[in-house]
Amino acid sequence: MKVLHFVTGGFSGATKVAVDLITAHNQIESVESLLVLRRKKTTVAKKLTELDQIGVDYRIVTGSTHLATVYELKQLCEQWQPDILVAHGFPEHLLGRRAGLLAKVPHLVQVEHNSRERYTPWKRYQTCQLSKATDTVVAVSEGVAQVLAQQNLQAPIQAIANGIDTTRFGGVNLLPITDRPQDLIMVGRYAKSKDHVTLIKAMHKLKQKGVMPNLTLVGDGRARYKKEVKALVESYALESQVNFIDYSSEVDKLLLQHKVFVMSSRFEGLNLAVLEAMASGCVVIGSTAVGVEELINDKQDGFLFQIGDARQLADTIELVLSNPAEYQPLAEAAREKALKKYDKSHVSQAYYELFQQLLEG
């Protein structure tokens, strides 16, 4: 079984899922996997070195134009001859399946990682047309599956929830919330969909009330949006409270130092950072966005706030930090859920079974 995974070289959540699948399937003798990245500005040597270190076989195709990407990927498919091409995310699922059709790859799979993408009418038309030649469309959450069900796709839709490496996040002898030295953390790329702005506004409202927690922001992404977030921090005079970390290979260690994890997204596919924080024993506060809301039972294993509601977010942060010990049971319940339901071994097994069905069917 030869499986080619095509995904953005931006090392987003979609890239992480593809890498995790390949790493897991590399342990199966009957599976040969190849990762193909569409070059982006953030396809940097440091991240590629990490792929080498974990033994992921990868190639890079141009990202200069969509036409050039399809041409290079078609040639690569003709050389490598995969049985299955898995195209992750937008617009890669359009480019990947187009190249796969041209190269006569036997089986095509689309993986939709988000609940809302920048589809023009033309892109939507392409998606529907390509679905006729697609074996299966995989949604990374039930919320995404519900969105896809409204798009008149011709291929069957299957939900396979994303998962995390529960052996990496958390571990044994976790510090209780009260003993953790840092207050708030958010891990996510800089993009409007992540809505860092609402979190910074919540920090400002807390400061006005005399509550001044520290906040760690981890992630890279769009320079323009990051500049906007930094400018907002400066305008509210929050520089002493907010620590920016562009990229870290030790997010697992950072999470263990923080009491509260915040995810202020406006929309998602299924947010892996939320699951990592749950497994790490943080109290998780998330927005009611698709891909976040379904992970959290409000006031049972975390807290939910309405998308974009900085005041509600500020009130929830203040509530938790005023008496962290009271919310230790929520952190423990969240950790148990992440370990039982969202371990990535379940995900890799589900994809392997799907691939087997395609080849047998």
- Which residues does residue 190 pair with via DSSP β-bridges, in sequence order? 221
- pLDDT tens digit sequence for 305-319: 999 999 999 999 999
Closest of 280, 288, 279, 285 to residue 262, by C-alpha: 285
Asked whether residue 325 carries a pLDDT value surpassing 90, the answer given is yes
**Mean pLDDT over residues 144-148, rounded?**
93
Give residues with Cβ within 8 angstroms of 355, minimum separation 6. 1, 3, 31, 84
In the Cβ-directed half-sphere of 226, how many Cα atoms lie within 13 Å?
14
In this predicted structure, the answer to whether residue 176 has a pLDDT above a threshold of 80 is yes
Residue 94: CB partners within 8 Å, gap ≥ 6?
66, 87, 123, 126, 127, 130
**296 has a pLDDT exceeding 80:** yes
Per the listing, tokens 């409007």 go with 192
Question: What is this structure's pTM?
Answer: 0.82
Query: What single string gives the DSSP state of each residue in 125-168?
Result: HHHHHHHTT-SEEEESSHHHHHHHTTTT-SS-EEE----B-TTT
Burial 245-269 (b: 16+ CB within 10 A, else e): eeeeeebbebbbebbbbbbbbbbbb
pLDDT digits (tens, 9 = 90+) for 192-245: 899 999 999 999 999 999 999 999 999 988 889 999 999 999 999 999 999 999
> Sheet of 32-38: strands edge to edge?
58-61, 32-38, 2-8, 84-88, 107-112, 136-139, 157-159
The Cα 21–Cα 40 span in angstroms is: 21
The structural domains of the chain, ordered by start, are 2-163+344-360 (3.40.50.2000), 177-341 (3.40.50.2000)
**Contact call for residues 269 and 113 (beta carbons, < 8 A):** yes
DSSP 3-state of 77: helix
- CA distances to 24, 53, 276, 344 from 168, rounded to whole Å, are 15, 16, 9, 11
Peptide bond into 91 cis (omega under 30): yes
The yes-or-no verdict on residue 118 having pLDDT over 80 is: no
Q: What is the pLDDT of residues 13-55, one digit of tens each?
A: 899 899 999 999 999 999 999 999 999 988 889 889 999 999 9
166-182 in b/e form (b: 16+ CB < 10 A) is beebbeeebeebeebeb
Polymer length in residues for the chain: 361
Please state, in angstroms and rounded to a whole number, the distance separating the CA atoms of residues 317 and 183.
10
Mean pLDDT of the chain: 95
In the chain, DSSP finds a helix count (H) and a strand count (E) of: 13, 13
